[in-house]
């Protein structure tokens, strides 16, 4: 029987299939009188019996539409539900205490909400009440706390009526970090409301009248924002990371989303799911679903074009489209992973490309040294390392770091730059120091979600608030919080199975050493990138196509009257001079001497007298 009962506005109860649910809004707060279905008891089919059958089967959870999360489900069943399966007398003798709270955390799209939804279905518990965290908060005094209390009303009522025979009630807090932040972390008014909500939930979880027939499931991708008291035993004591799926998990997810087309014979024999799983490193479950959708769209487009071309052939036009491997390969370029390599940003960091110099050059030595760091992480020799790339302004440090990151073949590469961090910050985000500090924390947290990651921190002196160069080595950093945070993060050991390489660039090595951010401090190693020698500058100009011959390039470099040349302004000057030079009769554009002289004056590349 289903009957209407006054319920919390923030609750969305998952009703049995075919049940029509009507929600009515009443009361002073928006939606404060929603109604939800109450499911009738099933005396002959207890949660315990259902759990026992699932444990005995030992089957994968793919049949329930969940792929790549067998270990996570296994941990939850072992910790949360095993104590609810044994005889009450055995539980009493063992002194078993039920786990009342689970926290699912991990990057977006990995299936945290799916896990929470499937728990109620697979465990034969009451349909889970799913609460979107921000919906708990109300503008009326005391209403937010009342919303929390109302979530537990059904469980309290059944506990009074049936005692230990009560079925399990699951309450899911999606985006729990929005309402369960660390107490005292907000503003004066906001902090009071958030603090009271946290206190109310803690009271319900393990207060004097704590219930044994309730399981709280919190979902977040920012575990660090939660109040630490929530994570203690008796509360959200089981914390399960729902991370990016491995190759086996990705294959399971792809099979789930291609199952229907495979059964209908619409998945080409050329499609190898295992090969696709290898190509989709760092794809989340949601992104894999999007990949299948994109591949299907390519097949549909091909089918529509064929149908229009052969419109007179009814048999041909009536055929359903078959999704081929080439469709998936096209979709891979269209649906990149959010936790993938930031190739566009890395390419933008080397607008002039990258020019390899001879093996005896200092640049080649620096490149080889960085590759040693890259390989050490790939081989699993160590789990975290950092390398500081130093050199004068314009010497090519950023281009070298970007090239090393691009060629590393790491599945996750992220760039952290002060200009990007500040540009993307909200107007009310606080001081620049606070903004950079939060960005550094978030960047390292994201990097540690991948099994193999590389962080490129460009112009680190700007992040810590120091002017480029070592002109004033005694000046304190303008961003002390960011400085301390970066120092701590560089020393932080990654979780088991995670590997992180951090490449830092700076033109202020002496200042960084004083701040403890250099080799010998929190940084594992350092390489130096000097300016180009005269003959190297000549070779770079020829390789860039700016000059047709070494003789012309030598004359151009000689006109600078320098013993060494920074590569970045050299290439910028050559690009500008080439753009202002006339084309030759055969359509080739090279730098004219007059254009070179004019551009050298504009870019201030020549040595001052």
Condensed to tens digits (0 to 9), the pLDDT of residues 200-253 reads: 888 888 776 777 788 889 999 888 888 888 888 888 989 999 889 999 999 999
299 and 391 co-located in one domain: no
Q: Is residue 29 pLDDT above 60, yes or no?
A: no
Give, in order, the Cα–Cα distances in Å from 106 to each of 147, 179, 244, 339, 445: 27, 18, 8, 12, 10
Q: Quote the domain boundaries for residue 440.
A: 343-530
Q: How far apart are CA 327 and CA 343, in angstroms?
A: 22
When pLDDT is cut at 50, 70 and 90, the band that residue 58 belongs to is very low
- 541 vs 477: which has the higher pLDDT: 541
Q: How many helices (H) and strands (E) does the chain have?
A: 24, 15
Of 499, 530, 561, the position where a domain reaches its end is 530
CATH code, domain with 306:
1.10.8.60
Q: What confidence tens digit (pLDDT) does each residue in 444-470 have?
A: 999 999 999 999 999 999 999 887 876
- Segment 46-74 shows an average pLDDT of 64
Most confident of 135-139, 349-353, 381-385: 381-385
CATH number for the domain spanning 62: value is 3.40.50.300
Mean of the pLDDT values across residues 429-455? 91
Name the pTM for this structure.
Answer: 0.76
Q: What is the mean pLDDT of residues 107-125?
A: 79
Q: In what order do the strands lie in the sheet with 412-416?
A: 412-416, 452-457, 499-506, 384-390, 525-528
SS3 62: helix
Collapsed DSSP state (helix, strand, coil) of residue 455: strand
- Asked if the structure places residue 503 within a domain, the reply is yes
**Could you give the CA distance from residue 387 to residue 396 in angstroms, rounded to a whole number?**
16
What pLDDT was estimated at residue 146? 85
pLDDT band (50, 70, 90) for residue 133: confident
Q: Count CA atoms within 13 Å of residue 296 on its CB side.
A: 16
Co-location of 504 and 406 in the same domain: yes
Name the burial class of residue 311, with classes exposed (0-12), middle (13-18) and buried (19+) by CB atoms within 10 angstroms of its CB: exposed
The yes-or-no verdict on residue 46 having pLDDT over 80 is no
Q: Measured between alpha carbons, how far is residue 236 from residues 102, 212, 239 in Å?
A: 5, 14, 7
Same domain membership, residue 224 and residue 158: yes
Last residue of a domain, one of 530, 558, 584: 530
Residue 303 and residue 322: Cα distance in Å, rounded? Answer: 8
Q: Which of 494, 505, 427 is nearest to 464 (CA)?
A: 505
Domain presence at residue 609: no
In contact, 384 and 493? CB cutoff 8 Å: yes
pLDDT over 70 at 559, yes or no: yes
Residues present in the chain in total? 609
Q: How far apart are the first and last CA of the chain?
A: 94
Given this model, what pLDDT does residue 66 score?
Answer: 75
Distance (Å, whole) CA 225 – CA 233: 18
In a domain, 59, yes or no: yes
Are residues 330 and 476 located together in one domain of the fold?
no
The better pLDDT of the pair 265, 60 is held by 265
Q: What is the pLDDT of residue 441?
A: 93
**24 to each of 31, 171, 269, how far by Cα in Å?**
7, 21, 51
The answer as to whether 86 is a domain residue is: yes
CA 550 to chain centre: 48
pLDDT tens-digit map of 309-362? 545 455 444 577 899 999 999 999 999 998 888 888 999 999 888 888 888 888
d(CA 258, CA 292): 7
Residue with more model confidence, 584 or 335: 335
Measured on CA atoms in the order 218, 224, 225, 231, is the torsion positive or negative? positive
Helix, strand or coil, per DSSP, at residue 11: strand
pLDDT bucket at 109, cuts 50 / 70 / 90: confident
């Amino acid at each position: 029987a289903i009957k209407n009962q006054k319920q919390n506005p923030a609750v969305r109860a998952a009703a049995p299939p075919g049940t029509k649910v009507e929600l009515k809004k009443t009361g002073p707060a928006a939606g404060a009188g929603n109604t939800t279905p109450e499911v009738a008891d099933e005396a002959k089919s207890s949660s315990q019996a259902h759990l026992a059958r699932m444990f005995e089967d030992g089957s994968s959870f793919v049949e329930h539409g969940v792929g790549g999360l067998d270990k996570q489900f296994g941990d939850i069943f072992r910790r949360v539900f095993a104590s609810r399966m044994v005889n009450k007398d055995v539980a009493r003798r063992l002194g078993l205490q039920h786990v009342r709270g689970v926290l699912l955390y991990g990057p977006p799209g990995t299936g945290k909400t799916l896990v929470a939804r499937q728990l109620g279905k697979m465990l034969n518990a009451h349909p889970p009440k799913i609460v979107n965290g921000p919906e708990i908060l109300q503008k009326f005094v005391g209403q937010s706390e009342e919303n929390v209390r109302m979530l537990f009303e059904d469980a309290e009522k059944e506990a009074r009526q049936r005692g230990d025979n009560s079925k399990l009630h699951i309450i899911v807090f999606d985006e729990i970090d929005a309402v369960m932040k660390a107490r005292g972390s907000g503003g004066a008014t906001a902090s009071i409301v958030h603090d009271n909500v946290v206190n109310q939930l803690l009271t319900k979880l393990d207060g004097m009248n704590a219930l044994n027939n309730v399981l709280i499931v919190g979902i977040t991708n920012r575990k660090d924002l939660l109040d630490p008291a929530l994570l203690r035993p008796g509360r959200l004591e089981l914390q399960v990371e729902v991370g990016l799926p491995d190759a086996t998990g990705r294959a399971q997810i792809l099979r789930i989303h291609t199952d229907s087309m495979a059964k209908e014979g619409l998945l080409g024999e050329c499609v190898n799911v295992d090969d696709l799983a290898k190509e989709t490193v760092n794809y989340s479950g949601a992104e894999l679903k999007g990949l299948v959708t994109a591949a299907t769209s390519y097949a549909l487009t091909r089918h529509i074009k064929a149908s229009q071309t052969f419109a007179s052939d009814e048999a041909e036009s009536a055929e359903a489209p078959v999704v081929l491997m080439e469709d998936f390969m096209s979709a891979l370029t269209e649906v990149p992973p959010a936790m993938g390599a930031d190739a566009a940003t890395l390419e933008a960091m080397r607008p002039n490309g990258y020019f390899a110099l001879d093996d005896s050059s200092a640049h080649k030595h620096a490149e080889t040294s960085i590759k040693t760091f890259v390989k050490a992480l790939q081989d699993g020799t160590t789990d975290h390392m950092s390398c500081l790339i130093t050199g004068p302004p314009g010497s090519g440090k950023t281009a070298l770091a970007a090239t090393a990151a691009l060629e590393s073949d790491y599945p996750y590469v992220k760039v952290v730059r002060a200009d990007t961090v500040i540009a993307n910050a909200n107007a009310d985000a606080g001081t620049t120091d606070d903004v950079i500090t939060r960005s550094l924390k978030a960047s390292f947290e994201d990097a540690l979600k991948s099994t193999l990651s590389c962080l490129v921190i460009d112009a680190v002196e700007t992040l810590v608030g120091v002017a480029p160069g070592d002109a004033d080595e005694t000046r304190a950093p303008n961003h002390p919080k960011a400085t301390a945070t970066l120092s701590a993060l560089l020393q932080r050991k990654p979780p088991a199975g995670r590997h992180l390489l951090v490449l830092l660039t700076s033109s202020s090595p002496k200042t960084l050493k004083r701040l403890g951010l250099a080799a010998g401090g929190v940084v594992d190693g350092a390489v130096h990138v000097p300016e180009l020698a005269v003959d190297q500058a000549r070779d770079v100009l020829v390789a860039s196509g700016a000059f047709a011959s070494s003789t012309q390039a030598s004359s151009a470099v000689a006109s600078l009257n320098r013993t060494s040349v920074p590569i970045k302004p050299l290439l910028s000057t050559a690009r500008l001079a080439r753009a202002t030079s006339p084309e030759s009769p055969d359509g080739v554009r090279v730098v004219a001497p007059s254009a070179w002289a004019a551009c050298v004056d504009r870019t201030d590349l020549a040595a001052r007298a």
